[in-house]
Amino acid sequence: MSSEEQTVPQPGSVDGDPGETAEWLEALSDVVAVHGPERAKFLLHEGLWTDVELPSVAEAKRPDFVKFCLGHFAAMWPIGRWLLDEVTAD
């Protein structure tokens, strides 16, 4: 991974295990060298979502869940419409 692609640590962040971090970065650099940056991005994405458990939303268990979702979609549509217009503008 090139120095331009590396992220800058946030102020006040502490690396609890710099040795392990160095090993992970070296392994990721090897993936980039052998398989390319797209594979490395895929692995990073997969790693972010490993063992993520989100809390269950009470509304998801109700019979009117679809209506609940449609209400949220309708409320957010102005933002979606604006974004769609922005990305499809000539």
Give the model confidence (pLDDT) of 1-31 as tens digits: 444 445 566 666 788 888 988 998 999 999 9
* Domain assignment of residue 9, yes or no: no
In a domain, residue 79? The reply is yes
Instruction: Name residue 88's amino acid.
Output: T
Position 83 in a domain: yes
In a domain, 4, yes or no: no
Q: Which domain holds residue 76?
A: 58-88
Return contacts of 40-49, CB within 8 angstroms, 24+ apart: 40/1
Whether 62 and 83 map to the same domain: the answer is yes
Establish if 7 belongs to a structural domain: no
Question: pLDDT per residue over 46-75, tens digit each?
Answer: 887 777 676 777 878 889 989 988 998 899
Residue 71 falls inside a structural domain = yes
Number of continuous H segments (helices) and E segments (strands) in the chain: 3, 0
Total tally of structural domains belonging to the chain: 2
